[in-house]
Structure 1
Amino acid sequence: MNRRQTLLALALMPLMANAAGNHGGGHQETTGTAGDPAQVDRTIEVTMSDRMRFDPARIDVKAGQTIRFAVKNTGQQPHEMVIGSLDKLKEHAEKMRRNPGMKHEEPNMLRLDGGETGEVIWHFASPGEVDFACLIPGHLEAGMKGTIDVQPAP
């Protein structure tokens, strides 16, 4: 392999890794990082329902905070909470439509069956707007999404 081919292969590696059908890598967002449970600043309760809604659908946090999202599925069918940019969430939802058996193993996402509870602990590093959604086929399209407004630290 010559130098040009080697450089091209190295440049394409992240794209090839992201194209794999495995759900265990490549979906984490630059919207923050997995939070340390010992560093949680506050807990926000979130419910997911069969009305295809999150409550609350708008959440305000401060940059630098680590948030524990205490999530409950009050419905009968499975739902998920996935944190990321809306563009990436839509792209991910399309992948799930093509591969409905995908499993989630990332710290920015949680899937719960009806009646279950769980948590996502996320550290919001910088100000901006971050989205969250349920990516089970048809749920995002039905309006199951929300926004996290990450405000500058005081």
Structure 2
Amino acid sequence: MKTRLALHLAASTLLFATAAAFAHGNEDHAAAARKYDSAKVEAKAFGQEGDPAKVTRVVKLSMADTMRFTPADVVVKRGETVKFLVHNDGKVLHEMVLGTPRELKAHAELMRKFPEMEHSEANMAHVKPSTDGEIIWQFTKAGEFQFACLIPGHFEAGMVGKVTVK
């Protein structure tokens, strides 16, 4: 009986520690000072974190509680470094996450399981209502990619846009 109780307590402690590690809260990850470090840039299927000194274009996007991005379609040139300025016009938290359709779908499923999950990477802007965020991204490969809000329910409601890299 003591062994079973000890195992139960250990499992409960691990569960709570895991939940704490995924804690998300409403903090604005986009506001955190992200320092560009070329040595830490990770190439992904849809490009890589862009060097702020090499931004060639600024694209303004807005997010709304109608679960839509405006504009929903963006065309960029291969090799171009784009700064996305993202404004949350809504009254609820939204985010913009760049990725492949497969990666975004998998991430959205994970967000449904862990809605308070903390995440802050170069391809993400987590934006509180009436505030702005930004993503600086270099599109190194041609193709069609997506951006989406992965807050639980938003992706499923169609809060998805497309980036065409020519």
Amino acid at match of 1:140: F
SS at match of 2:121: coil
SS at match of 2:125: strand
- Measured on the aligned residues, the alpha-carbon RMSD in Å equals 1.7
Of 45, 67, 77, 1:30 maps to: 45
Amino acid at match of 2:49: A
For normalisation by structure 1, the TM-score amounts to: 0.79
Alignment check: 8 A CA contact 2:45 2:141 kept: no
Aligned residues: 128
Cα distance in 1 between the residues matched to 2:153 and 2:133: 22
CA deviation digits over 1:54-86, x for unaligned, max 9?
A: 000000000000000010000000001000011
Number of the residue aligned with 1:16: none
Alignment check: 8 A CA contact 1:29 1:85 kept: no
Number of the residue aligned with 2:140: 125
For normalisation by structure 2, the TM-score amounts to: 0.74
Deviating above 2 A after TM superposition, structure 1's stretches of 4 or more consecutive aligned residues are none
SS at match of 2:92: coil
Where do 5+ consecutive residues of structure 2 fail to align?
A: 1-20, 25-41
CA deviation digits over 1:104-152, x for unaligned, max 9?
A: 211001111110101100000011011010000000110100000000x
* Pair 1:107-2:136 in alignment: no
Q: Which has the larger radius of gyration?
A: 2
SS at match of 1:67: strand
* Pair 1:63-2:78 in alignment: yes
Where do 5+ consecutive residues of structure 1 fail to align?
A: 1-20
